[in-house]
Amino acid sequence: MGSNGLIDTVKSKAQVWLTDSYDEETRAQVQAMLDNEDSTELIESFYKDLEFGTGGLRGIMGTGTNRMNKYTVGAATQGLSNYLKKEFENLDQIKVVIGHDCRNNSRKFAEISADIFSANGIKVYLFDDLRPTPEVSYAIRKLGCQSGVILTASHNPKEYNGYKAYWDDGAQMITPHDKNTIAEVNKIRNASEIKFKGNKDLIEIIGKEIDDQYIKDLTTISLSKEAIRRHHDLKIVYTPIHGTGVRLVPAALRAFGFTNIINVPEQDVVSGDFPTVISPNPEEPAALALAVAKAKETDAELVLASDPDADRVGAAVKNEAGEWILLNGNQTALLFVYYLITRWKELGKIKGQEYIVKTIVSTETIRTIAELNGVEMYDVYTGFKWIADVMKKNEGKKSYIGGGEESYGFLCEDFVRDKDAVSACAILAEMTAWAKDQGLSLYQLLLQIYVKYGYSKEEGISVVKKGKSGAEEIEAMMKHYRENPLTEIAGSKVTLMHDYTSLKGYSFLDNETITLDMPTTSNVLQYFTEDRTKVSIRPSGTEPKIKFYCEVHFPVKSLEDIPEAEEKAKEKINQIKQSLGI
């Protein structure tokens, strides 16, 4: 579409927002965009409609079809209502749960959603205040609901908000439900079709009783109660980074038996402006800086952090030199998988039907741990809904040990179907107590895993490309990689390539095309080389960026070999970046 065609299209879409179906403030904002000689804001606000990605509906807050506002949230809720009424037409009462995080407008959007669901005759359980995302997943299952929504943009910057939709299993929607919901949403072309006037008789406020049940159920997954009793006063610094974790993570740690939880007062302040950080992302060292400073001040042994909706966990530990280092998502996943499998075996819980799940871009060392311990492993796409899909298919047949992804998400329990920082924080603390029983710190435990299963280093590189032009650049980059497939990466020959868009792969060793067994397609390219290097390339489903995941392996025979392996790995990853031109 040419520039004139695009302008005509966005103006046509914007004109709809000038009708009486939209409030006066919205109409004024749209008119100002139309009157502005610079059409950039108009284009960015209306050039497309927000769509469900790996994290649901997510975007910058503002006016327009490509923005998070009462009308895009309203259309999503009306569309979901329409779909629920079709899918569950035989039920006397359809029920949903609604939660929200700390973000600006999250409570407002949650209440608007509650009104719309109830106006459509759907029973709503609305949390009384902000709550972690995993608790919404838990409540859907606990209350026997058909769907649920949480208003959150996870770890995105403060200008974002989002709308995550769940199905009756407590998991984020996948095909066909996500596509069918979007089809219903797309039928709504005007705000007049959205039922904004709620039915208060169908809205029930929930809170503490669900919190108490959730935490009580979480304590059932504890595997090392004796170790906790011995080390209950372990010094743990925890920060919610201004988010929902402030409500339940300290409570869960106490319920597990930990008595020495140290807060970071500046970050206990609930705020959608995230005043102490640039980005409320536990992947970012700056987000944990205050917590690490508190740990140094108090001589703590563990730092834990959760993102604004408390589904992703970050951790910092002391290394051999007593310096605080941040664990990355692959390292925490390794620790979880190793600890859970080890304890399940020690407790006699391994019967031959157990499994773990990881995402295709997460470290292959997880596979090694699983295989050498006789535990089945599933590889799934990025997005926790795919882990939940495996759990659903295996329910009643196999036993779920745990599952996670490199992007700081892990799930230790099977009664929640989304990543859970509340349980992850508790199990990381428990793991620290268990390691202490063996005379090890958590960092030393990680080194022991490397010696036993091989050293691996992973690094993610994100290239940000904002707006419409950025989306086009990302598309062109993926096209280039497909049309010019890599045959060598950092001096090592490519032996296997996977293209999840076509669900085809190619083995260079056998000179044959292979079919990839996945539930649907995904815009991901993946390469494996002779020296066990793995490189994955994918556009983000929730942010304006293209992501490169690099993983390298080096054998180590003892702890003394690890520093050399670390240096070789850093050098290798730099060579990979050069090979990829990033």
Catalytic residues, by residue number, are 154
What domains can be seen in the chain, in order of their start residue?
Answer: 48-206 (3.40.120.10), 214-453 (3.40.120.10), 457-580 (3.30.310)
Rounded percentage of the chain residues whose pLDDT exceeds 70: 98
Mean pLDDT of the chain: 95
Distance of alpha carbon 101 from alpha carbon 396, whole angstroms: 33
Tokens 């339940």 belong to: 248
Residues of 31-64 as b/e, b for ≥16 C-beta within 10 angstroms?
Answer: eebeeeeebeebbbbbbbbbebbbbbbbbbbbbb
Average pLDDT over residues 131-144: 98
- Angle value at C-alpha 42, between 71 and 14, nearest 5 degrees: 50
Backbone angles phi, psi at 439, to 5 degrees: 75, 20
pLDDT of residue 53: 55
DSSP state for residue 121 in the 8-state scheme = T
Q: Radius of gyration (Cα) for the chain, nearest Å?
A: 24
Inter-axis angle of helices 365-372 and 442-453, nearest 10: 80
pLDDT tens digits along 330-364: 999 999 999 999 999 999 999 999 999 999 999 99
pLDDT of residue 579: 86
pLDDT tens digits along 180-235: 888 898 899 889 999 999 999 999 999 999 999 999 999 999 999 999 999 999 99
Higher pLDDT, 382 or 137: 137
Instruction: Say how many Å lie between the first and final Cα of the chain, rounded.
Output: 30
pLDDT of residue 465: 86
Which H/E stretch holds residue 494?
Answer: strand 492-499
β-sheet with 376-380: strand ranges across: 376-380, 354-359, 399-405, 409-411
pLDDT tens digits along 444-464: 999 999 999 999 999 999 988
What global pTM score does this model have?
Answer: 0.94
Q: Which H, E and C letters describe 442-460, residue by residue?
A: HHHHHHHHHHHHCEEEEEE
pLDDT tens digits along 91-126: 999 999 999 999 999 999 999 999 999 999 999 999
Is the confidence at residue 56, as pLDDT, over 70?
Answer: no
